[in-house]
Amino acid sequence: MAKQRFSSPETEERCRTCLEEFHSYLDFQNKSANTIRAYLFTVRQFYELYPTINTENMLLYKCYLIDHYKPQTVNLRIRAMNCFQEFLNLPATRLLMVRYQRRPFLENVISQADYEYLKNCLLRDGKTNYYFAVRIMAGTGLRISELIQLQVKDIQQGYVDLYSKGNRMRRVYIPKNIRRPCLKWLIASDRTTGYIFLNRSGERITANGIRNQLCYFASIYNLDPTVVHPHSFRHLFAKNFIEHCSDIAMLSDILGHESIETTRIYLHRSSTEQQQIFNQVVNW
């Protein structure tokens, strides 16, 4: 479906003003920067396809989403439009989410062996910044957007307080086996304040900056690039945590999940592990 333009400059200006007000509304609700960006994109997309919000156009938009995106993305866009309609006080046109079957296994999770190998390579080659980025993600379950917010004081005190969706606060602890060497590195670098992860210019590194570097490291260290990405280390943390501690409610709190059902995926083995077990067990 070809991208449509706004029907008139007046319509575009009206939409722009509405989006600015919606942005303020989302800020007031303490939505994350990533959520705000996704919601604003969705509203722009809707208005580029349809002139007004009504039941018919909303159903058409849902069909468009189903035709073009995966179920997770469809539901994200639906949540965005439902939130926008709440902002406009139009509850009658809310859409239902699409239902889909969750996979009974984890995908694209780095193995413990590859994680250890990557850590050793980064430390050996003096990539200390990324060595600790990888260790902290795998040792705390922090999202990449949360990792880049870490400051020296968080390492010093051994925890960081984060605010998740719905303005819920969660505390994530930094384990001693990571905290101690990280503090030594920071002291040796004469860094007592500010953000931990910096770029070459001394500014706070971006999430994309870390993603791009991880992709580069996967290439030079001959690792599978599909498992060397920030969220893979969050998955590894959750998988290891649940193997050593069966408290799934605690894990859900640590990860900042809205529902414990989201966390239950970590009770399953990865697809690679399932295949290995299958090959070992089935010998008939």
Q: Which two tokens stand for residue 226?
A: 């599909």
Task: Give the position of tokens 């408290």.
Answer: 247
* Residue 33 CB contacts under 8 Å (≥ 6 apart), including other chains: 145
User: What pLDDT, on a 0 to 100 scale, did the predictor assign at position 66?
Assistant: 86
Give dist(CA 229, CA 212) in Å, integer. Answer: 9
Tell me if residue 195 falls in helix, strand or coil: strand
In this prediction, residue 1 has a pLDDT band, given cuts at 50, 70 and 90, of very low
Q: Can you read off the two tokens belonging to residue 45?
A: 């997309």
**Residue linked to tokens 């969750």:** 102
| Alpha helices in 174-206, H assignment, sequence order | 176-188
Predicted pLDDT at 194: 93
Confirm if 194 and 151 have CB atoms less than 8 A apart. yes
Give 36-72 pLDDT, tens digit per residue: 999 999 999 998 888 888 888 898 998 899 888 888 8
DSSP 8-state code for residue 164:
E
CA–CA distance, 279 with 282 (Å, rounded to integer): 6
Tokens representing residue 57 in the block: 């156009």
- Go through the domains of the chain in sequence order and give each one's CATH number: 9-93 (1.10.150.130), 112-281 (1.10.443.10)
pLDDT of residue 2: 39
Residue 179, C-beta contacts closer than 8 angstroms, at least 6 positions apart: 155, 158
Mean predicted lDDT score pLDDT of the chain: 84
Convert the pLDDT of each residue in 237-255 to its tens digit.
888 888 887 777 888 877 8
CA–CA distance, 269 with 53 (Å, rounded to integer): 43
User: What pLDDT shows up at residue 283?
Assistant: 61
Q: Which two tokens stand for residue 4?
A: 């449509």
Element (H, E) at 169: strand 168-173
Q: Are 200 and 213 in contact (CB under 8 A)?
A: no
- Look at the chain and count its residues: 284
Cα within 13 Å of Cα(179), Cβ side: 14
Q: Which amino acid, residue 188?
A: A
| pLDDT given at position 8 | 56
Output 22 or 243, whichever has higher pLDDT: 22
How many Å separate Cα 97 from the centre of its chain? 20
When comparing pLDDT for 23 and 280, which is higher? 23
Measured distance CA(183)–CA(61) in Å, rounded: 51
